[in-house]
Structure 1
Amino acid sequence: MKYIIIITFLTTLLGSNSIDRNVVKVLSSEEFKTQIENKSVQLIDVRTPKEFQSGHISGAENIDFYSDKFAFEFNKLDKDKAVYVYCRSGSRSNKASKKLVELGFIEIYDLKGGFLNYN
Structure 2
Amino acid sequence: MLLRTFLLVTALIFSFTVKAKDWLIDVRTANEYSIDHADGAANIEYQQIVLGAQHLGIQKQDTVRLYCRSGRRAEIARESLLHAGYQKVENLGSLQEAESWTQTSRIAAVQQ
Q: TM-score, normalised by structure 2?
A: 0.62
Aligned residues: 77
- Structure-2 residue corresponding to 1:77: 58
Q: Distance in 1 between matches of 2:36 and 2:29?
A: 11
Deviation at 1:70, TM superposition (A): 3.2
Given the superposition, is the C-alpha separation of residues 118 and 84 from structure 1 closer, same or farther in structure 2, using an over 3 Å criterion?
Answer: closer
Match runs of 1:1-119 below 5 Å: 41-66=22-47, 69-75=48-54, 76-112=57-93, 114-118=94-98
- Unaligned stretches of 5+ residues in structure 1: 1-39
Q: Distance in 2 between matches of 1:46 and 1:84?
A: 10
Runs of 4+ with deviation above 4 angstroms: 116-119
Return the letter of the residue paired with 2:53: F
Q: Distance in 2 between matches of 1:118 and 1:61?
A: 12
Question: Is the Cα–Cα contact under 8 Å of residues 47 and 87 in structure 1 kept in the other structure?
Answer: yes
Bigger radius of gyration, 1 or 2?
A: 2
Q: Secondary structure at the match of 2:24?
A: strand
Q: Distance in 2 between matches of 1:51 and 1:101?
A: 25
The answer to which structure, 1 or 2, has the higher relative contact order (CA under 8 A, 6+ apart) is 1
Q: Secondary structure at the match of 1:101?
A: helix
Return the letter of the residue paired with 1:64: E
- Unaligned stretches of 5+ residues in structure 2: 1-20, 100-112
| CA RMSD, Structure 1 to Structure 2 (Å) | 1.7
The structure in which a higher percent of residues are helix is: 2
